[in-house]
């Protein structure tokens, strides 16, 4: 079985029509219907993609860029709860949480972006951030004071030990 691929320009849309010689015969009407169907689905995708971003989104991004992560997080969460749930909002929610050193909710939102976003760049950035959070989680150590503060008396209140002279 041999295949030949030819480019067709129908209504300003290029289609690659594969015609299997001997087994499939596609008439002109079939190709025109295929072209119309492809054009209609392309227009539908463009209509669903062109969702305008509300002004509150840009306000929250401005707060994020200014380093006001808590205020930005509040703005992005309000957008998410008000029905404007999209991959960019969840990405900025994750970034805001990460900016406030809250790694667990940041990771949850990065995972949401990697699962549901169709934007390859945003997917890549989310995956890199998840890898960084995993590395941080695996390498952080807590060398804090523990309970040492309970054993150390504040200066001047040593509780004894005389005020005598040493050696003399």
Q: Indicate the domain borders of the chain.
A: 3-44, 55-138
pTM score over 0.85: no
Where residue 89 falls (left for φ over 0; alpha for ψ -120 to 50; beta otherwise) is alpha
Domain 55-138 falls under CATH 3.40.50.20: no
For position 139, what pLDDT does the model report? 83
Residue with tokens 């749930």: 85
| pLDDT per residue as tens digits for the range 62-113 | 999 999 999 999 999 999 999 888 999 999 999 999 999 999 999 999 999 9
| pLDDT per residue as tens digits for the range 22-59 | 333 344 444 344 445 545 544 544 444 557 889 999 99
In angstroms, the Cα distances linking 113 to 32, 46, 70, 130 are 38, 21, 20, 11
In angstroms, the Cα distances linking 99 to 87, 108, 136, 141, 164 are 18, 15, 14, 19, 54
| pLDDT per residue as tens digits for the range 119-148 | 999 999 999 999 999 998 888 776 666 555
Structure tokens at 9: 């320009």
């Amino acid at each position: 079985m041999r295949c030949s691929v030819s480019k067709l320009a129908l209504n300003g849309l290029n289609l690659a029509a594969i015609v299997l010689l001997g087994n499939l015969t596609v008439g002109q009407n079939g190709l025109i219907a295929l072209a119309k169907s492809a054009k209609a689905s392309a227009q539908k995708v463009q209509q669903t993609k062109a969702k305008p971003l509300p002004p509150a989104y840009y306000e929250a991004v401005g707060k994020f860029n200014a380093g006001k992560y808590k205020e930005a997080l509040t703005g992005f969460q309000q957008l998410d709860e008000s029905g404007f749930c999209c991959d960019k909002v969840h990405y900025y929610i994750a970034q805001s949480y990460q900016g406030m050193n809250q790694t667990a909710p940041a990771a949850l939102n990065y995972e949401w972006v990697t699962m549901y976003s169709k934007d390859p760049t945003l997917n890549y950035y989310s995956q890199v951030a998840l890898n960084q959070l995993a590395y941080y989680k695996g390498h952080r150590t807590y060398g804090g004071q523990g309970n040492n503060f309970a054993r150390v008396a504040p200066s001047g209140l040593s509780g004894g030990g005389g005020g005598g002279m040493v050696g003399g």
